[in-house]
Amino acid sequence: MKIYLTHILIIAWKDLLLEARSKEVVVSVLVFSLLSIVVFNIAFDPTPRTVAMVAPGILWVALSFGGVLGLSRTFALEVESGGFTGTLLSPIARDAFFFGKVISSFMFMALVELVLVPVMVVLFDLNIPVVLFILVSALALLAVSLVGTLFAAMAINTRAREILMPVLFLPVIIPALIASVECTEILFAGNGSGDLGKWISLLGVFDAVYLIATPLCFGLVVSD
């Protein structure tokens, strides 16, 4: 078990170190997400009465589409450098490789959200319960990282990976996306936590199912 966890941390640390040097993934996702928020803000022109309904959708749509871009780029860099094939030929377990990529993707997305949320607070004059919002964000970003990592690995060796990745990813992530938007809307509106537990439970179940299913599927995908 110790060796297994070490392999996971090595993969994650390698991705984080490469990103710290190149800054390709986080910067591209951050710029795309910020532009998405600005465009949505102009398009919807939310008022103080509607901001709690509009802002959660803007946030999670921007993060989801940014995640598609970032995850595709992460695996593209791996394939171009030969690191993807080299890792598969090493004695590292396939699911350890997968979980290492999930951790690094989660960290990238969390860093992007850490910048986006203060921007949204300023733009929309929001009051956010920090602790509950961190819980919702962690569950939602874990869902995006699990599903996105699997489908990025599936699409990476195809010619139309830029098109195939969102086509595969978005339909599957919709339940988690809806739950994230609903949770965030409740938190932004300050309407109490009546329905919050239901949506957080949905996110938790989604994460639990895909924590089991995605590493198994990843092993089959990379074996082919």
Question: With pLDDT > 70 as the criterion, what percentage of the chain qualifies?
Answer: 86
User: For residue 176, what are the CA distances in angstroms to 45, 64, 107, 134?
Assistant: 26, 11, 18, 15
What's the pTM? 0.87
Q: How many Cα atoms within 13 Å fall on the side-chain side of residue 19?
A: 23
Angle of the 51-81 helix axis to the 161-189 helix axis, nearest 10: 150
Average pLDDT of 52-79? Answer: 78
pLDDT in tens, 189-209: 776 556 788 889 999 999 999
Query: Measured between alpha carbons, how far is 144 from 146 in angstroms, rounded to an integer?
Result: 6
Question: With pLDDT > 90 as the criterion, what percentage of the chain qualifies?
Answer: 9
Tokens describing residue 22: 């190149």
Mean pLDDT, the chain, as a whole number?
81
Query: Measured between alpha carbons, how far is 142 from 110 in angstroms, rounded to an integer?
Result: 10
Tokens describing residue 187: 């938190």
